Amino acid sequence: MKHRTVKFIFFPIITLVSCPFLHGHELSSADRWVSVTGRGEVDAVPDMATLRLGVTSNAKTSSLATESNSQSIRRIFKVLSEKGVQQDDYETTRFQLTPQRQYRKGQPPLITGYQVNNVLVVRIYNLDKVGEVMQAAIDAGGNNFESLVYSVDDTDELMEEARTRAVEDALEKAISLSEP
C-alpha cells in the first residue's frame, strides 16, 4: 500500500514592539510595532481512513422505502463487523425521507413515491482493509459513496509541533526585522 502523508499547518501572528526591547533599550512613545506571521508544518503518515457511504432507496410508500433502506443498512453493519470494524467506529450521520413529486401544469404536485437516504461515517484503522471494507459495503447494498479521507486519529502532538515551528518561524522573522 502506498503511504500518504497528511500536513498539519499552523500560522501564528506575533505583534512586537520593534527594535529597542530586543537590544536592551528602553521603549519610548515613538517606538513602532511590527507584526509577523510564522508558518509551522508537520507531515505525518495517516493511521486511519474515514469513509462516508450510504444507501439510497426508492419505493411507492414511505414505509417500504424505509424498510428497504433499513435492511441494506443492517447488512452493511453486519459486514463492517465481520471486517473487524468496531461498532464505536461507525455511525449514522444523516437519515432523510423525501417524497418524490411529479409536477403538473396547473395542478398541485402529485406524490409518486418516497426516497430514503441514510449516510454512515465509518472510521477504518486497518488501512490495508479499506478497499475490502468498501467492496463489502457495496455488496451489502451500499450505493452512495460520498468520500474517503485519510487522516491521523490523534493530532494533538502534531499540532503542538506545528505551533512550535510556527512560533519559531515568526520569532526569526521578528528578530530579522528588528536588526539595524
Where in the sequence is the domain holding 135, given as residue range(s)?
Answer: 48-151
Contact 22/178 with Cβ under 8 angstroms? yes
In a domain, 82, yes or no: yes
53 & 109 share domain: yes
103 & 118 share domain: yes
Contact 149/22 with Cβ under 8 angstroms? no
CA–CA separation, 33 and 22 (whole Å) = 13
pTM as predicted: 0.72
Residue 18, pLDDT score: 45
95 & 136 share domain: yes
53 & 116 share domain: yes
CA-CA-CA-CA torsion sign (170, 171, 172, 176): positive
Identify the CATH number of the domain in which residue 90 sits: 3.30.70.2970
Residue 26, pLDDT score: 60
147 & 159 share domain: no
Residues of the chain with pLDDT under 70: 1-32, 34, 180
In a domain, 1, yes or no: no
The domain tally of the chain equals 2
In a domain, 33, yes or no: yes
CA–CA separation, 61 and 39 (whole Å) = 56
Residue 172, pLDDT score: 87
Residue 130, pLDDT score: 96
Residue 155, pLDDT score: 86
90 & 136 share domain: yes
28 & 93 share domain: no
Residue 36 CA, distance from chain mean position: 30
Residue 94: closest CA among 136, 146, 138: 146
DSSP for 103-151 reads --TTS--EEEEEEEEEEEEEEES-GGGHHHHHHHHHHTT--EEEEEEEE
39 & 121 share domain: no
123 & 161 share domain: no
73 & 104 share domain: yes
